[in-house]
A and B are shown apart, each in its own frame.
Chain A
Amino acid sequence: MKILDLAIKDLSQILRDKKVLLFLVAMPIVFTLFMGFAYNAGESGDENADTRLGLAYVDPQPDSRLSQMLFARLEESDALKVIRLEQAEALDSLRRGEVVGVLVIPSGFGEQDAGGTFRQLTLIAESNSSDGQSLYQLLRVPISQLMSAVEIASISADVQGSPAEFAPALELAWAKWDETSRLERVRLERATARVEESWFGDNPYNQASPGILVQFAIMSLVTSAQILVNERKTRTMQRLMTTAMRPWEMVAGHLLAMFGLVFLQTALLVVFAQFVLGVNYLNEPLGTLLVSVAMCLWVAAMGLLIGVLAKSDDQVVLFSLVSMFLFSALGGTWFPLEASGGAFAAIGRLMPSAWAMTGYQNILIRGLDLSAAWLPTTILLAYAFGFFLLALWRFRKMEL
C-alpha cells in the first residue's frame, strides 16, 4: 500500500506540470509522423504520378549503333524516363533535381564495334542516395548485356575470320539478350507468417513507430528520474527514511511510478499508431502488451538507476539523453541494424532496445504470433532485473 501511495505521489507530482505532456506525448507523435513521412518520402502519393527515375542521356555520337541499342533498351524500361541532352544542360537538370542522374557516353563508344579500345560509361548521380544507387543497378544489367553482345560478336567475327561478320552477329546476340531480359528468372518473396489482408508489413510507420516508442520511453526519464534527485535535494528522502517505510519499498514505489509513466506514454503512442497511422499493433494484442510491459520495466529500472546516480537535474537530463542516444542508435531505432557495420550490428543486437524492436517487428512486419514475443520479453525482463539490482545496490550505498 505504501508503495502504491509513493507511486501515486510521484505520478501526481510529475503530471501536475502540463509541460510534461509536451515531452511525453506531443513530441513523440510529431517525431513519429515526421520520421514516417521521411521514410515514406517519394514512395507514397498519387498512384498516377510518374515515379520513373529521370535519366539524362549524353552522347556526342548519337548515330552509333551501340548507342542506339542502349538508348532503345533504356527507353523501354518501365523504371526509367530517359531524355537526350547536351552535357551542360544535363548537369543543370541534375542540379535542379529534374533528373536523378546523367549517363555520359564517351566519345568513341560506338567504335567498339570495329574492335576499338575500351570506353568507360559514366553515371553522374548522388552515390549516397537510394535513387542514385537504384539508377546504377538499373543501368548495370543492360550495359553488361550490351558488352556481352559485343564480345559474342567479336568471337563470331574471329571464328569466321571476317570483320564484316561483327555487325550481324552483334544484332543477333543483342536480339537474343533482348528476349532473355524479358524473362523473370529470379523471384523475390517476403516471408510473412500472415498473408491475409490484415498484414500491414509495408506501412512506412512500422519502423518509425516502434523506434520512436523506444526512444521517447527513455527520454521520458528526463522528467521521472528528476523526482529522486529532488527528493534528495529537498531532503524529503531523508524524512521518508525516518518513517516505517523500508528502503526496498521506497525503491519499488519510485520504480512503479516510472513504470506507470512510461507505460502510459507507450500505451498512448500504440493507440495513436494503431488508429491513426495504421500500424497494426493489435495484430497480436497480447504480444504487444507483453513486449511493451517488459520494455517499460527495463526503461523504468534504468530511470531508477539514473535517479540514484545523478546529483542534479542537469545530470538527470544529461544521463537520460546519453542513454537515449546510445540505446536508440545501437538498438536500431533510428536505422535498421542491417544497414550498419558488422561490429556495430553485433553490439547493437545485444541491446535491450534492439530486443524491444525485434519484439515489435515480429508482430508488425513479420506477422508472427504470440510465441514470437516470448524471447524478446524474457530478455527485456532480464535487463530490467539487472538494472533494478544495480539501482538497489547504489541506493543502499547512498543510504550509508
Chain B
Amino acid sequence: MKIIDIALNDLLRSFRSAFTIGMAVVAPLMLTGLIYFAFGGLSGGDVSMNAMKVGVVNADALPADSPLDAPIGDNIRAMFFDESVESWIEARDYPDEAAARAAVNAQEIGVAVIVPADLSASLLSDEIDAQVTIISDPTLTIAPAVVQDMVTMMLDGVSGGGIAIQTIMERQQANGIQPDPAQIPGWVTRYTDWYREFQRDLFHRPEKAALVLTAPSAGETESADPIQQMMGLTMAGQMIFFAFFTGAYAMMSILREDEEGTLARLFTTPTERANILAGKFLAVVLTVTLQGIVLMTAGHYAFGIAWGQPASVALAALGQVLAASGLGVLLISFVKTSKQGGPVLGGGLTALGMLGGLFTANIPGGMPAAFQMLANFTPQGWVLKGWKLSLAGAVPADLLLPFAVALALGVAMFAFGAVMFKKRYS
C-alpha cells in the first residue's frame, strides 16, 4: 500500500508540473502538429499546395506552310495559365530568356520554361533538335520536376499525334492504299480524344489509370494514404523519444527529493527503503503509461492515426513503457545530482534516439543499412520496430520479436538500475 501511495504522490507531483506536461505531452503533439500542418493538407487529394511560380518565355512561331492553327509553344504556355492549375501554379510571361533568368535569380519565380522559336518547326519536320529549357532555382526540387513532367507529357501528346499519322499512312502505303489527306483530321481527333482521357485517368482517376501505385502493406487492391502513413511514423517517433525522456525525467524526482532532504526524511519513517524505491519505480511506469495513452488518443483524434490492431498496439505500447522506464531508472542511477541530469537527458537520450532512427523514420528510402543495424543496439530502435509493424497493420504474432527484445532490455536495465539505487541508498 505504501508503494502505491509513494507512486501516486510522485505521479501527482509530475502532472502538477507544467514542465512535465510540456515535455511529456505538449512537445510531441506540437512537433507532430507542425508536421501535420506542413503536409497534412496534401492528403485526400486536397491540393492546398504551395503555389509554384512559373515564368514562361514562348518564342515559338509557326513555320511557313504549317498545317497547324497555332504554334505548339502556345499549348505549352496555355497549360500553365489554364484555370484548372491556377490554384497551384502562378504563371507569368517573360519577353525573353534573359528576363526569365533574372526573375529566377531574384526569386520572383521558381521555374522558367523557355520555348524556342523553332519548336513547332522541328517537331513538324521530325528533326528534333529544338529543346524546351527549364531553368530552376537550385534550392527547389519538386517544382522543376513537376514542370518537366508537364512539358514532357505535352510534347509526348504532340509526338503521339505525329506518330499516329505517320503509322497509319505508312501502313496504308504498305498495303497498297493511297492515304487520303482529308482523313487525317479525323484520325488526329480520335487519337487526341483518347490521349486526353488517358491523361485524365492517369492523374485524376486511379481506378481507370493504366498504372496504379499501391503501398505493399495495403495489399494489392487498396491504396494506403501516404500522408497518414507519414503522420503515424512521425507521431510514433516523437512519442517514443518523449516517452524515454519522461521515464528518465520522472526518475529524477528521487534526485530532487534527495537534494531537498525529503528523501532522507522519508527514510526515517518505518517504511522500508525497498518499498520507497519500488514506489518511485512504479511512479515512472505509471507516468510513461499515462503519457502513452494520452498521446495515442490525441494522435488518433487530432491526426487520424490508425495505430493498428488493438492487441498489436498493446504489445508495442507495453514494450515502450517497459523499455522507457528501464532506461530511465538505469540512466538516473549513474547520475549524482539533478544538475547532471540535464546533459544526460538532453545529450544521451537525443543520441540514442538518433541512433534508434526516431528522427529519420520518414526519410525517403530509409537510412543506410549500417544505420539500421545500429538501431538494433538501442531500446528505442526496437520500440520503433514494434510501432512500425503495428502501424502497418501487422498481427500480434509479428510483433513478438520486437516486444520480447524491448521487454528483455527494459527488465535488464531496470534490474541493473534498481541494484545501483539500492546500493546508493542502503
Give A contacts to B, CB under 8 Å: 19, 22-23, 26-27, 30-31, 34, 37-38, 41-42, 91, 94-95, 97, 102, 104, 118, 120-133, 136-137, 139-141, 143-145, 147-149, 151-153, 155-156, 159-160, 165, 168-169, 172-173, 176-177, 180, 183-193, 201, 314-315, 317-318, 321-322, 325-326, 329-330, 335-346, 358, 361, 365-366, 368
Contact = CB atoms under 8 A, between A and B. Distances in A.
Contacts of B148: 186, 188
Nearest to A142: B211
Nearest to A169: B171
B23 interface: yes
Interface string B99-139: 00100110100101000000000000000101111111111
B255 interface: no
Contacts of A168: 171, 174
A240 B283 CA distance: 43
Interface in B345-392: 346-347, 350-351, 354, 359-360, 362-368, 371
A165 B171 contact: yes
Given A136-B213, A341-B50, A128 B136 contact: no
Contacts of A145: 156, 160
Given A127-B224, A165-B175, A325-B31, A341 B134 contact: no
Contacts of A188: 134, 136, 144, 148
Given A30-B351, A131-B365, A188-B148, A144 B213 contact: no
A187 B167 contact: no
Contact of B220 (A124, A155, A185): A124
A187 B132 contact: yes
Contacts of B371: 37, 41
Contacts of A97: 366
A215 to B, nearest CB: 12
Contacts of B152: 141, 185-186
B168 A144 contact: no
Contacts of B40: 341
A361 B139 contact: yes
A143 B195 contact: no
A19 B337 CA distance: 14
Given A318-B19, A318-B23, A180 B212 contact: no
Contact of A325 (B30, B50, B144, B226): B30
Name the 5 nearest CB pairs between A and B, nearest first: A130-B364, A314-B19, A128-B226, A340-B38, A341-B41
Interface string B151-167: 11101100110011011
A186 B149 CA distance: 9
B164 A322 contact: no
A345 to B, nearest CB: 4
A139 B213 CA distance: 10
Nearest to B132: A186
B128 A123 contact: no
Contact of B18 (A41, A139, A314, A365): A314
B170 interface: yes
Contacts of A91: 216
B8 interface: no
Interface string B36-51: 0111111000001111
